[in-house]
Amino acid sequence: MYAILDIESTGGKYNEEGITEIAIHRFDGREVVDKFICLINPEREIQPFVAKLTGINNKMLRSAPKFHEVAKRIVEITEGAVLVAHNAQFDYRILRTEFRRLGYDFQRKTLCTVDLSKQLIPEAESHSLGKLARSLGIPMSDRHRANGDALATLKLFKLLLNKDSEKKIITEVIREETHGELSPTQLDMVFNLPSDTGVYYMHDKDGDIIFIGKTKNIKKRVNQHFTNVGKMARKLQKETKKVTYETTGSELIAILKAYVEQKKKRPRYNHVSKKKLFTHTIDFNQNGTEHIILEVEKSRKLEHKNIAFNGTQSAKSFINKVSEEFALCPSSLGTDNECVHQEAEQSASNCNEKVLSAFEKYSIQDKDIALTDQGRETGERSFVLIKNGRLQGFGYVELNHQINNIHILESIMTPMRSDENTTFIVETYLRKNNRLKTIPLTS
């Protein structure tokens, strides 16, 4: 017996969300034998973006029953059934949290149609419910409402049951009642973690660091480690006895710290490659030709006026991006060898100026700059210091601090070892994030 479930929640801080709508279809493998669909008064405000997404607002829920009024019905309709949901970890966690507030330990086995579809339909471009349903021709209505999504999940589940002819995967994917939930020890560890950007460290019983990670939400990411399936997740769940962390405010600092510390400490469950993080480069040198021609080259070495990329696709995407942004000449892209709009010498010079403007914007080579971002608290800014094109370190200043003096920043920063990979990390982040502010530095 299965209970196909979908929940809409208020959004908000992790483990503080409330249920706004629930839909459960009790399914015996052939047909729906019972169903429960209900709006619920969460007794807390709905986040504006959630209200916009679902169409459920606070006014609609004022007269709706509260969770304790429908809890018995939920227990009854799911009794003896496996909970089935798309991203079951989320729905099961929200449901258990609500029951825990009532002092009731709600436990069911769960089955996630994301996990199942990844194994049975690995070729799908996306395993999100909406895109997967469209690609499979599953009709959907009332998207992002509990019953609309539950019905789509039910139709998807029927299709997956048919595809799993040997019934092996379903047996393997069904999780035990407490899987996807934290043990009391893990719950204590997660409870004390912040929902902030930073680096976290997972320690074994001897206090040794066994894994270093970086994330924009420490609490959420560690919780995922404790609830994920897979060989690596099971090892971390078994061996982690303590989690420590450092908030950074800046995602770039978190990425750099995690890379440098993984390389230095080499925790047993981090895969720390000795190879370069990049595989290809684009050369911005003239190389004896009239025009600077941007071409993707396979290389694991950064040289003068080169920018590194991980894969040809990201390099080609960058060329397309700067071509449009700086209106690059066809000659600079290797598609036209002649400048037809003006005298060749003048035209080549103009084309090269545009190419070098792109390099100047997206490279840190030979620069003395501070890359500033949000800090760890209000009134603070983070900075990453670059000197002569090389990473020096990171630090934090007050908003009214004199941030454009390189000597002051050097005196307050935390030093960080630089290499070609740190240059690649910084430049990759610069290409993808517009919110970083670049400040030229003076002596």
Q: Tell me the pLDDT tens digit for each residue of 199-217.
A: 999 999 888 999 999 999 9
Long-range CB contacts (< 8 A, 24+ apart) of 95-104? 95/5, 95/7, 95/19, 96/181, 97/15, 97/17, 98/18, 98/19, 98/67, 98/71, 99/71, 101/67, 102/67, 102/68, 102/71, 104/71
Whole-number pLDDT of residue 343? 46
**Rounded alpha-carbon distances, angstroms, from residue 309 to 222, 281, 328, 443:** 29, 6, 20, 32
pTM: 0.62
pLDDT at position 197 is 95
Q: Which of 313, 286, 282, 285 is closest to 298 using CA atoms?
A: 282
User: Whole-angstrom Cα distance, residue 152 to residue 149?
Assistant: 5
- pLDDT at 268 (0 to 100): 92
Which residues of the chain are under the pLDDT cut of 50? 341-345
> Residue 200: enclosing H or E segment and its boundaries?
strand 198-203
Q: Give, in order, the Cα–Cα distances in Å from 246 to each of 197, 221, 252, 442.
A: 9, 14, 14, 30
Q: How far apart are the first and last CA of the chain?
A: 72
Contact (CB, 8 A) for 384 and 250: yes
Which residue in 272, 256, 268 sits closest to 208, CA to CA? Answer: 268
Please, which residues have CB within 8 angstroms of residue 86's CB and are 6 or more apart in sequence? 6, 112, 113, 114, 129, 149, 153, 156
Helix (H) or strand (E) run with residue 438 in it = strand 437-440
Would you tell me the crossing angle of helices 129-136 and 146-163 to the nearest 10 degrees?
50
Partnered with residue 231 across adjacent β-strands are: none
Tokens for 78?
């799911």
Long-range contacts, 353-361 (Cβ 8 Å, 24+):
354/326, 354/327, 354/328, 354/329, 355/284, 355/292, 355/294, 355/326, 355/328, 356/284, 356/292, 357/326, 358/284, 358/322, 358/325, 358/326, 358/328, 359/284, 359/305, 359/307
At 306 the pLDDT is 92
Residues 6+ apart with CB under 8 A from 279: 298, 299, 300, 309, 310, 311
